Amino acid sequence: MIVTELSHLTDKEVGLRIAGQLRAWRIDPRGAGMTLDELSRRSGMGLTPLRRFEKTGGITLRNLIALMRAMGMLGQLVDLIPAVEAESPMEILERERRSKQRKRAPRAPKKEGRLMALEAPEAPQMKRFGFLAGQIRLPDDVDTMGSDVIQALFEGDAATGPGYQVSLDEDSRGPTL
């Protein structure tokens, strides 16, 4: 059988072998007896894809169908794939026997619940304030530190820096610095 002698070949090698056999059939007067130009005209394929197929074995399925039709071999292409036969009575019986397995009973729904301690001692409340007492010292004016520098920046005090003057003009679109 052809399948066993082709099974050790790569896909590309199988394609090349098929292309060679179709080329031989095309040229042989006992076969199709056609030139490449005639096959191109009858199949509707261009010369370039035909030459590429005969050289590399690469072809699309649609082009292969057109090629086989033009050479009068379309029936042989369809016969490559065997028809699926109807199931025998024994196969039907076996399939039904496999599908009639026993079904499991439905499982009971899970009951939800919570575990709770009946008598739980209260956890002692710990006070965290004062745990660093005496270890950190803050100055008394911590809330006003740096306010004189900030004020000088906005008022433009010459001693601290150039400062920025903010003015609102009625003609302008917003404050200018």
- pTM score: 0.45
Question: 29, 57, 78 — which closes off a domain?
Answer: 78
Does a structural domain hold residue 165? yes
Does a structural domain hold residue 7? yes
Does a structural domain hold residue 153? yes
pLDDT tens digits along 112-162 = 767 666 776 677 776 666 666 667 777 778 788 888 888 887 776 545 455
Does a structural domain hold residue 172? yes
Contact status, residue 157 vs residue 163, Cβ threshold 8 Å: yes
167: which 2 tokens? 């003015």
Long-range contacts of 141-147 (CB under 8 A, 24+ apart): none
Beta bridge partners of 167: 176
Nearest to 72 by CA among 32, 33, 45: 32
39: which 2 tokens? 């096959």
Question: 46, 78, 110 — which closes off a domain?
Answer: 78
- Number of structural domains, the chain? 2
Domain of 172?
Answer: 147-177
pLDDT tens digits along 7-27 = 888 989 988 998 999 999 889
Question: 34, 53, 78 — which closes off a domain?
Answer: 78
Does a structural domain hold residue 59? yes
